[in-house]
Amino acid sequence: MSSSERYMTARQAAVMLDISLPTLYSYVSRRMLHSEPVTGKPRVRRYLRDDVLRLVERKEFRSNPAKAAEKGLHWGSPVLPSALTLVDGGRLFYRGVDVIELADHSTFEQVAALLWTGDTKQSAFFAEDNATPRSILASLFKSIGRLGPVERCQMILPLAVSSDLSAHDLRPAAVAKTGAHILRLLFSAVAGFPAAPPLEQALVRTWTPNRKSIASALRAALILCADHELNVSAFTARCIASARSTPYEVVLGALAAFRGRRHGGVSEEVEMLFRDAYKLADCRQLVATRLRSFGHVPGFGHQLYPEGDPRAQKLISLAKTYGRPREVELAKRLIQASHALTGDYPNLDFGLAVFARALGLSSEAPIAIFALGRTVGWIAHAIEQYADDQLIRPRARYIGPNPEN
- Where a domain ends, among 38, 56, 76? 76
Domain co-membership, 335 together with 377: yes
User: Averaged over 120-131, what is the pLDDT?
Assistant: 78
> What range does the domain containing 38 cover?
3-76
For residue 136, which amino acid is it?
A: I
Domain co-membership, 328 together with 186: yes
Give the integer Cα–Cα distance in Å for 61 and 79. Answer: 12
Residues 6+ apart with CB under 8 A from 36: 45, 46
Domain co-membership, 103 together with 60: no
Domain co-membership, 41 together with 171: no
Q: Assess whether pLDDT exceeds 50 at residue 1.
A: no
Nearest to 363 by CA among 353, 372, 375: 353
Domain co-membership, 48 together with 90: no
Domain co-membership, 40 together with 92: no
Q: Assess whether pLDDT exceeds 80 at residue 257.
A: yes
Q: Which residues are catalytic?
A: 263, 302, 349
Domain co-membership, 143 together with 264: yes
Percent of the chain's residues with pLDDT above 70: 92
User: Averaged over 120-135, what is the pLDDT?
Assistant: 76
User: For residue 121, what is the domain's CATH number?
Assistant: 1.10.580.10
Domain co-membership, 171 together with 47: no
pLDDT recorded at residue 50: 80
Q: Which residues pair with 46 in a beta bridge?
A: 9, 36
pLDDT recorded at residue 80: 82
Find out whether the peptide bond into 37 is cis, omega within 30 degrees of 0.
no
The DSSP-derived string for 128-197 is ---SS-HHHHHHHHHHHTTS-HHHHHHHHHHHHGGG-GGGG--SHHHHHHHHHHHHHHHHHHHHTS---S
Domain co-membership, 59 together with 176: no
Residues 365-395 have pLDDT tens digits of 999 999 999 999 999 999 999 999 889 998 8
Residues 202-250 have pLDDT tens digits of 999 999 999 999 999 999 999 999 999 999 999 999 999 999 999 999 9
Domain co-membership, 46 together with 137: no
Q: Specify the pTM.
A: 0.82
User: For residue 8, what is the domain's CATH number?
Assistant: 1.10.1660.10
- Where a domain ends, among 22, 44, 76? 76
Q: Assess whether pLDDT exceeds 50 at residue 322.
A: yes
> What is the average pLDDT score of the chain?
89
- Answer whether 378's CB lies under 8 Å from 233's CB: yes
Domain co-membership, 219 together with 238: yes
Residues 71-101 have pLDDT tens digits of 556 665 567 889 999 998 899 999 999 999 9
User: Averaged over 337-364, what is the pLDDT?
Assistant: 95
Residues 174-206 have pLDDT tens digits of 999 999 999 999 999 999 888 999 999 999 999
The total number of structural domains in the chain stands at 2
